[in-house]
Amino acid sequence: MDRAAKGAKGARSNSWARRFYISDLAPLCDPTVMRTLETTSRILGVWVGVAIVYLVVRFGFTQKLDALHPYASYVFEAVLVTLALCTGLVDVWRRFGRVKSLAFGGVLSLIGGGAVYRLASAKGIAIPFDLKSNEAILFLIVVAPILEEAVFRFFLWKPIELVTNRTLALFITTLLFSYSHFHAYWFYPAEIHPFIFYQSAYTLGLGLGAGYFVWRFNAIWGAILIHFMFNLGFYLAYALS
């Protein structure tokens, strides 16, 4: 088998790596490029495996994880996201230049967050957060938008897109995002269940809105800002009520 044929065979076997390899312009039969693709393919394979482990631990061992420390799940997620970022394989953290789209989406999200809080109050759905607590405000406004979007619109999104496509990644991560909020149903008392159902419903819309900016523009900053504005609207509706 000549060199070109070997290169073509290797290129086919590493097709999933090429989907995320940034330097697509190099000849695929170049041995250096092929070694890079093979390394990339192995890293992506590990990424898929770690993502599966995350889902098993996150949803299968929630209580054991929380028993270690109240913030253990956040540390666990932050470490996995950091490891994924260290691969340097994808550039979803690049500067987001669609200012008009982002501004429009941000305003809608701000209004949506406020409307969600108002509707909950009107329907008598108790909000199980102490929004007078500085810690709760910090997690609502800062930690949740950054960490949750990094997990669902980056760490989980990329492996799902890898084995399916970008559109399915949008819908699957949205469902996982919503379920991550519904998952509390199995561990919290019955009086919290109405809010858990309510939160699971509105996070479907939030997940689609945030995920749209990754689906359309491949930049996670848009998703983080949409999530931030939604939570800010939620808090402002509480503060002004």
Length of the chain equals 241
The model's pLDDT over 23-76, given as tens digits with 9 standing for 90+, comes to 444 444 455 555 566 777 777 888 889 999 999 999 999 888 888 988 899 999
Last residue of a domain, one of 62, 90, 118: 90
- Domain extent, residue 214, equals 92-241
The reply to whether 68 and 156 lie within a common domain is: no
The reply to whether 179 and 60 lie within a common domain is: no
The reply to whether 118 and 200 lie within a common domain is: yes
| Mean of per-residue pLDDT scores for the chain | 84
Last residue of a domain, one of 90, 121, 137: 90
Domains of the chain: total: 2
pTM for the full predicted model: 0.84
The reply to whether 106 and 203 lie within a common domain is: yes
Last residue of a domain, one of 38, 64, 90: 90
The reply to whether 187 and 145 lie within a common domain is: yes
The reply to whether 97 and 178 lie within a common domain is: yes
User: Residue 3 pLDDT more than 80?
Assistant: no
The reply to whether 145 and 224 lie within a common domain is: yes
User: Residue 238 pLDDT more than 80?
Assistant: yes
Mean pLDDT for the stretch of residues 87-95: 61
The reply to whether 77 and 134 lie within a common domain is: no
The reply to whether 65 and 105 lie within a common domain is: no
The model's pLDDT over 143-162, given as tens digits with 9 standing for 90+, comes to 999 999 999 999 999 889 98
The reply to whether 83 and 202 lie within a common domain is: no
The reply to whether 218 and 113 lie within a common domain is: yes
- Percentage of residues in the chain with pLDDT exceeding 90? 59
The reply to whether 72 and 125 lie within a common domain is: no
Q: What is the pLDDT of residue 97?
A: 56
